[in-house]
Amino acid sequence: MSTSAQKLPIARSLERFANRKVQGALAALGQSLPATVVSVSGGIVTVKFALMSPYTLPNVTVPIVGSEYVRLPIQAGCPGFVLSADAYLGGMSGLGGGTADLSPRGNLSMLVWTPIGNKAWQAVIDANAIELYGPDGGIIRTADKASIVRVSSAGTKVTLPAGGNFVVSTLPVAPGPPGTLWNSGGQVMVS
């Protein structure tokens, strides 16, 4: 009695075996996929995938690509995409512990999210200047929150620590349009 091994050519069997192994290894790799924000908590977002797929992909919680020192006003619904890292990121993001290593992980476990531009965005005021704004305005502050400049539709508020200085290095020496500051012999005046 012969077995199936004697009935199948070895070359075809080896090719099928190699193809299955390659497909399995590719499936384990992380993917860069479109995703929108569901919720935000500090530098961490939960995203849902904006992808038609035969698979049901769960919402995942991932870090945002960016710096502690520049925080974007990410909102639920913001479009972007996830990128897959080559090593474990849990210790860096605070979503896990330990040190990065190259051991195989689940293909959704090493993702980070970044926003993506859209042609429907408003045109910039000056393409050669940084433009900062958010739904409620913008804030520039020191790490200890002692000095804060807050710009909003209600106006601009400057908060300084006790004894802090607000220095204006130069002012025009003649009055300008109503509401502008000017220097009248060393005294600050309002037009």
Domains and CATH numbers, the chain: 30-115 (2.40.50), 130-159 (no CATH), 167-191 (no CATH)
pLDDT at 5: 58
pLDDT at 45: 97
pLDDT at 50: 92
pLDDT at 77: 95
d(CA 107, CA 94): 19
Tens-digit pLDDT profile for residues 77-132: 999 999 988 888 888 888 888 888 877 777 677 899 999 998 998 888 998 998 88
Positions of the chain with pLDDT lower than 50, given as ranges: none
d(CA 158, CA 69): 19
Could you please report the per-residue DSSP string of 119-152? TTSPPPS-TTS-----TT-EEEE-TTSSSEEEEE
User: What letter does residue 91 receive in the DSSP assignment?
Assistant: H
| Chain position carrying tokens 């908060």 | 159
pLDDT at 83: 93
pLDDT at 65: 95
